[in-house]
Amino acid sequence: MYDKFSVLRLIDQWLAEDIGHVDLTAQLMIAPEATARFYMKAREPMTVAGVEVAAMVFTRYDPSCRVALQVAEGDAVGKGAALAVVSGPAQSLLTAERTALNIVQRLSGIATETARYVGAIAHTPARLLDTRKTTPGLRMLEKHAAGCGGALNHRLGLDSGIMLKDNHIAVCGSIADAVRIARQRAPVLTRIEVECDRLDQVAEALAAGADVIMLDNMSIADMAEAVRHVAGRAKLEASGGIRLDTIAAVAETGVDFISTSRPFQSAPAVDIGLDDAA
């Protein structure tokens, strides 16, 4: 989910960065009246994200470009699948091509990696959460990509919820004091989450009335003990050091959520090309 008005402003920046003053190759080599038709194709299996944004790149640069989407956001496709058919003035299509491909490759890479993590815990009730460790300027779209891969969005920004970390708690004096102050001052529908790295802190956060308790870098044994102690009285989120080869064991402890930044920070861009339709 993203705001199209905000995306258009991003696209203007992307195009300005890539084009500079003029696309010398397209303007010098391609006749203004020439038209073209291309297929945007997946060159490897992937979960699609950002194809709508890529379409907006073409039409933002030149409204006479036409894009017929062949897939939906979040679709899983195989190698060779057509994601879109792009047609219109050849100069415009070739000028906007790289910007359009860059964003759909990046976002589909995140969605594809996210889907791998979601698949690894599909046998449990636990849900995957994303984080705020996103590329500056691309948070809205990268979180959209994580959603396409099956994750739930955690905080979109600092104004989306209250997260009491160790330094907040240190300044306030204790977990109990920090939660009490937050509860007194927060908007009535805002949830309060407390980060804990020890079981005694989990007990204190629960007693203080935290809505969500984050189990930060805890062992599997400690997470399982926290689940038994909390017994559904608050939501539990596991975080820290989550990898594809460890996430299943974390989910099997019974936590409600698992958050990781790995799909943002380690996902490679997938291979998508624009091929001549002739």
Q: Which residues are catalytic?
A: 98, 133, 165, 195, 216
Rounded-to-integer distance, Cα 131 and Cα 260, Å: 6
